[in-house]
Amino acid sequence: MGKMSVDLCGIELDNPVIPASGTFGYGLEFAELYDINILGTFSFKGTTREPRFGNPTPRIAECASGMLNAVGLQNPGVEHVIKHELPALKKVFHKKVMANISGSSVENYVYVSELLDREEQVGWLEINISCPNVKAGGMGFGTSCESAAAVTKAVKAVTRKPVIMKLSPNVTDIAAIAKACEDAGADGICAINTLLGMRIDLKTGKPVIANVTGGVSGPCVFPVALRAVYQISRAVKIPVIGCGGVSRAEDVLEMMYAGATAVQVGAANLVDPYACKKIIEKLSGVMERYGFRR
Q: Which candidate, 133, 42, 114, 45, places its Cα nearest to that of 85?
A: 45
Q: Which residues pair with 264 in a beta bridge?
A: 18, 243
Question: CA-to-CA distance for 195 and 9, rounded, in angstroms?
Answer: 26
Q: Is 62 exposed, middle or buried (0-12, 13-18, 19+ CB in 10 A)?
A: exposed
Name which of 263, 257, 246 is nearest 291 in CA terms: 257
Beta carbons within 10 angstroms of residue 63's beta carbon? 16
| Contact by Cβ (8 Å): 164, 128 | no
Catalytic annotation, pick one of 9, 131, 181, 220: 131
Contact 260, 247 (CB under 8 A): no
- 276 as an active site residue: the answer is no
Active site residues: 131
